[in-house]
């Protein structure tokens, strides 16, 4: 086992016994939601996974240690920002470890650490992607290259329309990453169920997704997959409601000349502020919804592997 990893007893036991485990990221907690709703959500998401019969493993970096599974106290310290965690993607991981620092893991770095621990399933809210105007800025999230290289399937509610969703899909196709719509043929756009961007794969039950992943990895085709699970209808927001907020946030971004890793947190925070409390409720509902699906896929996958 990698000497930098600290796996909790609950997660280690589950992995030894071949039980289904679902990874969770920590950037969504520290940089994505306000206190104390972030802690409530982190606990509710873990609970959803346990109720399905799988084991949750929230991933973060504390004092330079790669944590797989957090105690309630650690989750609290992460949520109320007493640990002042930096946002850590693939690029930043060695730096935080070398400095014995605290880090909130993005989709990319959560995949890396999950994979080190032997976890193949991961639930989150939204993934990073190709930003609008990337033809000039070259701003493409490191999440996309991680899908191409690390064997972890990520259940998300698509990607926010702060991104160029069509370019994001083109990039994933180039990199050989399957994007599977769960009961949809369209890429969901996080707050809303529609984006107008069509998907090449659709699956209507968790076992179908488990079979597809099993085939991919058995063929030696390394890398992950994106499982796009639309937000439940009762929590979805209209495109009009969201589009205006996104346009405003993008204009401010340009005015303030914000660049690099700060772009995504800025846009997420501004869209949440502009849309008010509604978007937070939507955000929480979709993460919990994704946790349920990720657990079901992990369970279906373990059932297949037993045969």
125 binds ligand PSU (CB under 6 A): yes
- Asked if 146 is part of the footprint of Mn ion (rule: CB under 5 A), the reply reads no
- By a kind-dependent CB cut-off of 5 to 8 A, residue 89 interacts, out of ligand PSU, Mn ion, none, with ligand PSU
Least Cβ distance, residue 109 to ligand PSU (angstroms): 8
The single residue among 11, 14, 24, 28 that binds ligand PSU, judged by CB under 6 A, is 28
Cβ at position 112, least distance to ligand PSU in Å? 12
Q: Is 87 one of the annotated binding-site residues?
A: yes
Member of 67, 132, 160, 270 binding ligand PSU (CB under 6 A)? 160
HEC sequence for the chain:
CCCCEEECHHHHHHHHCCCCEEEECCHHHHCCCCCCHHHHHHHHHHHHHHHHCCEEEEEEEECCEEEECCCHHHHHHHHCCCCCCEEECHHHHHHHHHCCCCEEECHHHHHHHHHHHCCCEEECCCCCCEECCHHHHCCECHHHHHHHHCCCEEEECECCCCECHHHHHHHHHHCCCCEEEECCCECCECCECCCCCECCEEECCHHHHHHHHHHHHHCCCCCCEEEECCCCHHHCCCHHHHHHHHHHHHHHHHHHCCCHHHHHHHHHHHHHHHHCHHHHHHHHHHHHHHHHHHHHHHHHHHHHHHC
Site for ligand PSU, residues 189 to 218, rule: CB under 6 A = 190
Among 44, 261, 274, 280, binds ligand PSU (CB under 6 A): 261
CB of 262 to ligand PSU, least distance (A): 8
Find the binder of ligand PSU among 69, 103, 128, 224 (CB under 6 A): 128
Q: Any contact of residue 38 with ligand PSU (CB under 6 A)? A: no
Interface residues with Mn ion (CB under 5 A) are 139
Interface residues with ligand PSU (CB under 6 A) are 25, 27-28, 32, 89, 106-107, 125-126, 128, 141-143, 160, 190, 261, 264, 268
């Amino acid at each position: 086992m990698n000497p930098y990893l600290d796996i909790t007893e609950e997660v280690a036991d589950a992995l030894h016994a071949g039980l289904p485990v679902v990874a969770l990221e920590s950037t969504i907690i520290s940089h994505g939601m306000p206190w104390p709703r972030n802690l409530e959500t982190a606990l509710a998401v873990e609970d959803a996974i346990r109720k399905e019969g799988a084991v949750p493993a929230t991933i973060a970096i504390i004092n330079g240690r790669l944590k797989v599974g957090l105690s309630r106290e650690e989750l609290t310290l992460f949520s109320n920002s007493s640990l002042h965690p930096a946002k850590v993607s693939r690029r930043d991981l060695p730096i935080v470890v070398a400095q014995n620092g605290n880090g909130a893991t993005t989709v990319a770095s959560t995949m890396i650490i999950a994979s080190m621990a032997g976890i193949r399933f991961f639930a989150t809210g939204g993934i990073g992607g190709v930003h609008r105007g990337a033809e000039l800025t070259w701003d493409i999230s490191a999440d996309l290259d991680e899908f191409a290289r690390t064997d972890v399937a990520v259940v998300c509610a698509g990607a926010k329309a702060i991104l160029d969703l069509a370019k994001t899909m083109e990039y994933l196709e180039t990199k050989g990453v399957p994007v599977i719509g769960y009961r949809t043929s369209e890429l969901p756009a996080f707050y809303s169920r529609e984006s107008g961007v069509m998907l090449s794969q659709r699956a209507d039950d968790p076992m179908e997704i488990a079979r597809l992943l099993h085939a991919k990895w058995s063929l030696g085709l390394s890398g992950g997959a994106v499982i796009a699970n639309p937000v439940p209808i009762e929590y979805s927001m209209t495109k009009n409601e969201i589009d205006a907020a996104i346009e405003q946030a993008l204009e401010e971004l340009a005015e303030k000349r914000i660049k690099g890793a700060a772009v995504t947190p800025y846009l997420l925070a501004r869209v949440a502020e502009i849309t008010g409390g509604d978007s937070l409720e939507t955000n929480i509902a979709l993460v919990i919804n994704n946790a349920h699906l990720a657990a079901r896929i992990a369970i279906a996958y373990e059932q297949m592997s037993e045969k």
